[in-house]
Amino acid sequence: MSPRQKAKIETPESLERLRESILAQERPDAKTVVVCCGTGCLASGSHDVRESFEQEIRAQEPDGDIIVKKAGCRGYCEHGPIVVVEPESMFYHCVTTGDVSEIVSESLNKGDSVERLLYEDPATGKKCVHEIDIPFYKKQRRLVLRNCGHVDPTDIQDYVRFDGYQALAKVISKLSPEEVISHIKESGLRGRGGAGFPTGLKWESSRNAPGEVKYIVCNGDEGDPGAFMDRSVMEGDPHIVLEGMMIAGYAVGSNKGIIYVRSEYPLAVQHLTTAIAQATDLGLLGDNIMGSGFAFEIEIVKGAGAFVCGESTALVMSIEGKRGFPLPLPRPNTSVSGLWGMPTVLNNVETLACVPVIIQKGAEWFSHIGTDKSKGTKVFALSGHVRNTGLVEVSMGTTLREIIYDIGGGVRGSKRFKAVQTGGPSGGCIPESLLDLPVDYESLAEAGSIMGSGGMLVMDEDTCMVNMARYFLDFAQEESCGQCTLCKLGTRQMFQILYDITKGEGRPGDIEVLLELAEAVKAGSICGLGQSVPNPVITTIKYFKEEYEEHIHEKRCRALVCRQLISYRIKDYRCKACLLCLKACPVDAIIGAKWQVHEIDQTKCIKCGTCMEVCPPKFKAVECVSGQEM
Amino acid sequence: MKEGRLGKILSVFKGKKGGLISILQRVQEEFGYLPEEALSEIAVFMGLSSSQVFSVATFYAHFYLNRRGDHLVRVCQGTACHVRGARNILETAQYKLGIKTGETTEDYKYSLERVACLGSCALAPIVVIDDTLYPQITTKKMTEILASVSDCEKYEGTELRKR
Amino acid sequence: MSDISITINGLQVKAQEGATVLGAAQKAGIYIPTLCHCPDLTPEGVCRICLVKINNKKKLHPACRTPVQDGMAVVTDDAEIERVRRVTLELLLSDHDFNCLLCSKSGSCRLQELVNRIGYDESRLNRLNLVAKNLPIDNSNPFFSFNPNKCILCGICVRTCREISGVGAIDMAYRGYNMKVSTFGDKPLKGSVCVSCGECVERCPTAALIPKEELFPTRRVKTICAFCGVGCGLYLGVRGNKVVRAKGDRISSVNRGGLCVRGRYGYRFIHSNSRLSSPLVRAYDHLSSSRKINETENQDKPLTAPLIKQKDRFVEVSWDQVIKYVASTLMHYKGKQFAAFSSAKCTNEENYIFQKFVRTVMETNNIDHCARL
């Protein structure tokens, strides 16, 4: 590894010298084993993989310099642990400790790829050696995630090697704060947290607002279930967030940054803490940064588990140590009067991560990416019933179909596509007929959904839309802060009605009541949470009304999901009394014994379907039936 | 003894603006939950009414006012986990532990909790026990994991291994 | 402050700068329904009943906290606002324990008033899930009880306790649907730091906080609180010949309507059976011929005449006798041997005479008064 630089970086030139010296020390024949150590890959055992690489390299002593490097998330978590061998960039997925020795001997020693660990394109059956060959990555355009999976998140030197802090150096040595703001304005960058407010305007109003102290708050309270791009950026490339914040601080005239992170993300907190310490050691944070006279410090505040704190005023309340109650209208903009009544720029992680690249490559370059009104790229967390799940970064304006089918590989198994949900609990469900919708702020809003923080959940025909709406409303009523009547009681009431419908207790007229409640909650709630949580109800009714009607009038769930409307049973003439399902049942609801045909105790059954899964296909003894057929 | 431990935490925050939530987080790290006496003392320290501190502590999902179990079982109920059957996992855990969500077993070994999202959606459904993340859980795996955790209990100090 | 002009529902209305839309509308006689609004407290705008349209913008603003601006166009009523209000009210009712006929707040309940003003339709309400919360009622406080099932979580009590009483005994605890007004540790009010001033009870729009055993008065009498030297203005509600309620006098510059526990709930001593209405004197021999009464036997009977105590018994005596007795006893003391303590329940004139007496006749400055707390 490159020798540690202890001396502080005092000028932009010394940063450049440091970068050059790091590059100079790299031997051209050196090989790097990059092991993904994001939360996803760690859960699949990448820590052990990395250790066994180190052991194996000591044991086999391959030629040349070999560096084992840990890196952040590559977004293809389902195929983790992921190992990439540089400089050939051979991409191995699902690597276990047992595979390490082979990779070392084949790839590191001989430079050959290990065929069986390569990704196989399911469409063509061809093996993909490089990341870029894999369909999942082919159509992506990675700006925000450009370093994720490449840079070592716990080593500032590695970030500097990847042109890190160059944008900051450029800003403080060559640009005035006003120029920075006009750059950002020209780039057309809009907030990635959901509402899409132009970032440049936000900075400008904060800059112009009077205030002794100004704050830059990075919103890392990624509460939307199903979204994890901010986590990946904070974990995999923490310095880009710091750099973005510093540039914002310089532009706005702020010396104090706060990163508000969910405490569900311990690794992100850890990496950010390390990054702040390292940047401070190098003099990139603190007083007189690179000799410019600009001072900036960053503090981490951990969230305490409240979804509503992703809302700007609630987040400010939370940092101030109060209940996370959003402020009702009329209220001053946070950018004018936010934390402790001072001008506060509140930007999402992804927004801030866009800033350095805009400065480096220019506003014009950035504004050519994307659509007319939505510039740049957007990261989506693709999940659900799709073949390739993970983080996907695409140019704005890419259609949903491209994301789901070309990148995501389409729906899993032989099921049919039903809907895609964007924007988490604040978004809506979009049906197949709208799949050619380009993804940008306006188009999604028109379809009744929102961009949101970028969750994208694909649902197949086995998903019940009423149940889905119930799920989101359950989340909403649980996370409603309780301050305003409409949101508190409205979400509860909608949840109750939806719950009744899924139980088969729906009443004629329920759909109209739901719509009326949804519209009122949308119009009358205090904050963005209340104003947007009815979206899942409105859109599912709009696009999937017939499913609601089936539930209400026929007491039937076509997807066989709603538990009270279905039951599992064992066909006695097919059951071979093999005990498989009996043992697998998580709640011991199956009665029977060896030589005695099994039966399901319907009072105990939680309808999880485990019995159906374990029943050998040749027996096919378990079936799921709609309640009406019982 | 408690007072000493609490005083130590509070002294770090002396003269700092706000920070009630950070204090509560630190105190909970120390005691495992937020004892009532600690809350009153924090209120005095912060110059707030005790009911205000109570109000903040009950607002956030991560603060507990009662003693928790030694192992915290968190079942993710995020969207991605939901569509891949997280509800079955939660109910399996409830059945196996004999407690409802949010409760603690009588022997203070386990607390069961649902969480909104842990940000590992690609590996759904997810279960986190203490700090170990278990990816792509099935009802069967859930049963096995709970069994293995209680097995490890027998050999104190054994690192809980996943899978 | 200068006047500015705004339009409300198309009408030109003059309003003072710094006023709220609600204030301006009320002044102009235009009704905007409110629930969580209380003129004494900072407006929070959480009940969403007073939502109005400002300058035809899409987002609705709570009238109670929106300041007027010159040329502002306000719409207080249109189909959309009406719909949001109606749904809000129906949601509140769906969550409310309403047995108005048996509710002592009936007639002065703000929720009831809204139902009359906005109107509701039973068939519409029945489409919702009517949830009976059935939370335990807190009866621990001797003067009032708290029924969370009637609470609409407007937060008035919490703000009152914080802003007016400065006690902070209660706050909103928990979150979302489970949110409730709670003391520290969710304990009964009696065990909390609540000082029972009853300011919150006075402002509660529903029957969530309601005084115990309070009768409806038939007339009221303006007076001054006799408990201490502050001299709070007070209206005593009278029914028959009995004081049944006390209310602060908002016009009084001393208390501006506020009262403490003694002023608000302490009136019950007036009709107390164990109240002493005459002086007690320790017995001396030549009064022993007077009629003897047994203290323990006559506990329920109010005392109406001076009493003397003789071997654990009280003896009724006449005022003349008592004054003679007191005078003859005081004859033996002077200066530092003597001290006196007077009462706030006496009039100023009485207190003046008493201190004059102590200083000139008894020749001492050893005099104090119970109001010097």
Q: What does the pLDDT read at residue A217? A: 93
Is there a contact between A321 and B46 if contact means CB atoms under 8 Å apart?
yes
Are C148 and C181 part of one and the same domain?
A: yes
Report residue C23's pLDDT band, with 50, 70 and 90 as the boundaries. Answer: very high
Residue among A322, A425, A608 minimizing CB distance to B85? A608
Backbone angles phi, psi at C234, to 5 degrees: -150, 140
Q: Which domain holds residue A438?
A: 377-460
Side chain identity, residue A276: I
Q: Looking at residue A311, what DSSP letter applies?
A: S
In sign, the C-alpha dihedral spanning A118, A121, A125, A128 is negative
| A81 and A161 fall within a common domain | no
In a domain, C15, yes or no: yes
Taking an 8 Å cut-off on Cβ atoms, the answer to whether C153 and A485 are in contact is yes
Reported as a pLDDT band with limits 50, 70 and 90, residue A80 is confident
- CATH number, position B53: 1.10.10
Tokens for A98?
């047992």
- Mean pLDDT along residues B68-85: 87
ipTM: 0.85
Q: Per the domain annotation, does A16 fall within a domain?
A: no
In chain B, residues 34-73 whose CB comes closer than 8 Å to chain A: 46, 55-56, 59-63
Q: Is residue A107 part of a domain?
A: yes
Residue A253: inside a domain? yes
Least CB-CB distance to C174: which of B40, B50, B58? B58
> Are both C134 and C186 inside the same structural domain?
yes
Domain count, chain B: 2
The C-alpha of B130 sits at a distance from chain C's nearest C-alpha, in angstroms, of 25
Domain end (from A554, A582, A610): A554
A418-428 average pLDDT score: 88
Place of tokens 């020693």: A109
Cβ A482–C94 below 8 Å, yes or no? no
Assign residue C41 the CATH number of its domain. Answer: 3.10.20.740
Residue A123's domain is classified under what CATH number? Answer: 3.40.30.10
Interface of A with C (CB under 8 A): 306, 323, 328-330, 477-486, 488-490, 492-493, 496-497, 500, 507, 509-510, 513, 516-517, 519-521, 523-526
A245, A156 contact by CB (below 8 A): no
Q: Quote the CA–CA distance of A602 and A505 in Å, as a whole number.
A: 19
Residue C346 is predicted with a pLDDT of 81
Q: C129 at the A interface (CB within 8 A)? A: yes
Using a CB-CB cut-off of 8 Å, the residues of chain C touching A492 are: 131, 176-177
Between the two ends of chain A, the Cα-to-Cα distance in Å is 68
Given a cut of 50, is residue B157 above it in pLDDT? no
Residues B88 and B46 in one domain: no
CB-CB: which of A228, A306, A608 is closest to B119? Answer: A228
Which residues of chain B neighbour C162 with C-beta distances below 8 Å? 49
Q: Report how many domains make up chain C.
A: 5
Q: Are residues A285 and A306 in the same domain?
A: yes
**Does A3 map to a domain?**
no
- DSSP assignments along A153-190, one per residue: TT-HHHHHHTTTTHHHHHHHHH--HHHHHHHHHHHT-B
Give the whole-angstrom CA distance, residue A15 versus residue A164.
9
Distance from C-alpha of B111 to C-alpha of B103, rounded to nearest angstrom: 6
Q: State whether residue B105 sits within 8 Å of chain A by CB.
A: no
* Distance in angstroms (rounded) separating the CA atoms of residues C88 and C50: 10
Chain C, nearest residue to B63 by Cα: C174
In sequence order, the 6+-apart residues with CB closer than 8 A to the CB of C122 are none
Query: Domain check: are A120 and A227 in the same one?
Result: no
Asked if the C-beta of B66 comes within 8 angstroms of chain C's C-beta atoms, the answer is no
Q: With pLDDT > 90 as the criterion, what percentage of chain B qualifies?
A: 22
* Cis amide leading into A81 (omega within 30): yes
Whole-angstrom Cα distance, residue A37 to residue A52?
A: 14
Q: Say yes or no to pLDDT of C203 above 50.
A: yes
Residue B55 counted as domain residue? yes
In this predicted model, what pLDDT tens digit does every residue of B9-49 receive, in sequence order? 888 888 777 789 999 999 998 888 999 999 999 999 888 89
Whether residue B82 lies within 8 A of chain A, CB to CB, comes out as yes
Q: Would you say residue B103 lies in a domain?
A: yes
Q: Give residue B131's pLDDT.
A: 80
CA C270 to chain centre: 18
- Residue C102 is predicted with a pLDDT of 87
Q: How far is C177 from chain B (nearest CA, A)?
A: 12
Subunits close to B (at least 3 CB pairs below 8 A): A, C
Min distance A540 CA to chain C CA atoms (Å): 20
Mean pLDDT of A431-447: 89
Contact A306 B59 (CB under 8 A): yes
Out of B38, B59, B80, a domain closes at B59
- Give the CATH number for residue A593: 3.30.70.20
The verdict on C175 touching A (C-beta cutoff 8 Å) is: yes
What is residue C281's three-state secondary structure? strand
Residue of B nearest to A588 (CA): B95
B75 and B144 inside one domain:
yes
Taking one residue from B and the other from C, the number of pairs with CB-CB distance under 8 angstroms is 47
Domain that includes residue C287, residue range:
275-318
Same domain for C338 and C370, yes or no, is: yes
pLDDT of residue A296: 93
A362 and A440 both lie in a single domain: no
In a domain, B132, yes or no: yes
Determine whether the interchain pair C168/B52 forms a contact, defined as Cβ–Cβ distance below 8 Å. Answer: yes
Per the domain annotation, does B160 fall within a domain? no
The residue segments making up the domain with residue B118 are: 71-154
Token pair 């049906």 in the structure block, residue: A431
- State whether B49 and B86 are in the same domain: no
Taking an 8 Å cut-off on Cβ atoms, the answer to whether B49 and C193 are in contact is yes
Residues B119 and B149 in one domain: yes
CB nearest to B54's CB, from C167, C173, C175: C173
How close B39 comes to chain C (CA, Å)? Answer: 9
State pTM to two decimals. 0.86
d(CA A452, CA A588): 41
Continuous segment of H or E residues that includes residue A597: strand A596-600
Instruction: Give the tens place of pLDDT for each residue, A468-525.
Output: 999 999 999 988 998 999 999 999 999 999 999 998 888 898 999 999 999 999 999 9
Nearest CA in chain B to A465: B83
Residues of B in contact with A481 (CB under 8 A): 59
Asked whether residue C265 falls in the same domain as residue C279, the answer is no
Query: Which residue do the tokens 């709220």 mark?
Result: C20
Tell me: do A118 and A249 sit in the same domain.
no
Confidence of residue C316 (pLDDT cuts 50, 70, 90): low
Which residues from chain B sit within 8 angstroms of residue C185, using beta carbons? 36, 39, 54
Measured distance CA(A44)–CA(A67) in Å, rounded? 22
Pair (A191, A288) in one structural domain: yes
Is residue C79 scored above 80 in pLDDT? yes
Using the beta-carbon criterion (under 8 Å), do B123 and A224 form an inter-chain contact? Answer: no
The closest CB to that of A475, out of B19, B80, B116, belongs to: B116
Q: Please indicate, yes or no, if residue B116 is contained in any of the structural domains.
A: yes
B contacts of A384 (beta carbons < 8 Å): 79-80, 83-84
CA distance C175 to A317: 15
The alpha carbon of B48 is separated from its chain's Cα centroid by a whole number of angstroms, namely: 26
Measured in angstroms, the CA of B142 and the nearest CA of chain A are apart by 9
Query: How many structural domains is chain A composed of?
Result: 5
Give A382's contacts in chain B (Cβ within 8 Å).
122
pLDDT of residue C340: 92
Over the stretch C296-305, which tens digit does the pLDDT of each residue have?
Answer: 444 455 555 5
Using CB atoms within 10 A of its CB, is residue A517 exposed (0-12), middle (13-18) or buried (19+)? buried
User: Chain C interface, mutation test: which of A470, A477, A486, A511, most C Cβ atoms within 10 Å?
Assistant: A486
Query: Is pLDDT of C58 > 70?
Result: yes
Mean pLDDT over the full length of chain C: 85
The per-residue pLDDT for C51 is 92
Q: Mean pLDDT over all residues of chain A?
A: 88
Residues 6 or more apart in contact with residue C367 via CB below 8 angstroms: C339, C340, C341, C342, C354, C355, C358, C359
Q: C70 and C4 in contact (C-beta within 8 Å)?
A: yes
Residue B48 at interface with chain C, using a CB cutoff of 8 Å: yes
pLDDT in tens, C222-272: 998 888 778 899 999 999 888 998 999 999 999 999 999 989 998 888 888
Give a yes or no: residue B137 inside a domain.
Answer: yes
Q: What is the mean predicted confidence (pLDDT) over A162-170?
A: 90
DSSP state of A406: I
Hey, how many other C-beta atoms are within 10 angstroms of the C-beta on A338?
Answer: 26
Question: Among partner residues A323, A509, A519, which is closest to C127 by beta-carbon distance?
Answer: A509
Task: Looking at the complex, report in whole angstroms how far the Cα of residue C46 sits from the nearest Cα belonging to chain B.
Answer: 17
